[in-house]
Amino acid sequence: MQHKLNGRVAWVTGGGSGIGLAGALALAKAGAHVVITGRNATTNASALTQLQAAGDAEAMLLDVSDKDAVQSIAQNIISKHGRIDILINSAGMNATQRNLNVLTTDSWDEVVNTNLNGLFYCVHSVLPIMRSQGDGLIINVSSWAGLYASKLTGPAYNATKRAVLALSESINMEECSYGIRATSLLPGEVATPILNKRPVPPTLETQERMVQPVDMGNAILFLAQMPARVCVNELVISPTYNRFYLGGLETPPEKK
């Protein structure tokens, strides 16, 4: 029996596109009030139009690497709605020049500050309200690269996405007595706009065989609709036609 999300408040970082937007749409259609945050006002506005056609939603500008701004957004949501039931940490990035022979320390810092520090800032900002509620779901979008390090994704992305698994388990170990549970969501190749930033973007035919954003949205909805007594610690999702198994790619790509 699926649990309706009416009355639930969900915060989705990186909610303007890709996996974040797909998850936000699925949650809004299921009755949740969805707050998306992202760094780009134009992307946020476009996403909000789609979300408001699907359900109840709002959008706010946020760079998750700014810890003070993260805290301000969390308090804004709590002031407006009195609660945060679901946090989807989907904001993420990778360096274009990403391998050790070309990766700069500035690029390393940028990836770490978004993919790991920013994710932690968001988790840290919602834990007090979730503790007081005695309930809360945190979905941290990691990557197949979090399990299988890859030259294609590079050391900064590999390291941060592997760290997400450890952080999620730390949440479960320390916060389960408060009714808080965390899932690491680990997708393989997903047909989202970040693919166009690869040195050789996959063809449209290849992308059609990948996991689609709507599939990720359905996975996020599945997690959100599980009863509070259930913690799905990790959920790995990959294309049936998995190019890493078939030798088409050396190792897994980034998720967004």
User: Catalytic positions, please?
Assistant: 157
Nearest-angstrom CA–CA distance, 91 and 93: 7
Contact 170, 181 (CB under 8 A): no
What count of other Cβ atoms lies within 10 Å of the Cβ of residue 253? 25
In whole angstroms, what is the distance from residue 16 CA to residue 13 CA?
8
User: Rounded to whole angstroms, how far apart are CA atoms 117 and 119?
Assistant: 5
Q: Tell me the C-alpha distance between 29 and 55, whole Å.
A: 6
How would you list the strands of the sheet with 56-61, edge to edge? Answer: 56-61, 33-38, 9-13, 86-89, 136-141, 180-187, 234-237
Tokens 């990403």 label which residue?
Answer: 98
Helices (H), the chain: 18-29, 41-54, 67-81, 105-112, 119-133, 154-175, 204-208, 213-225
| C-alpha span between 148 and 142 (Å, rounded) | 11
Count H helices and E strands in the chain, helices first: 8, 7
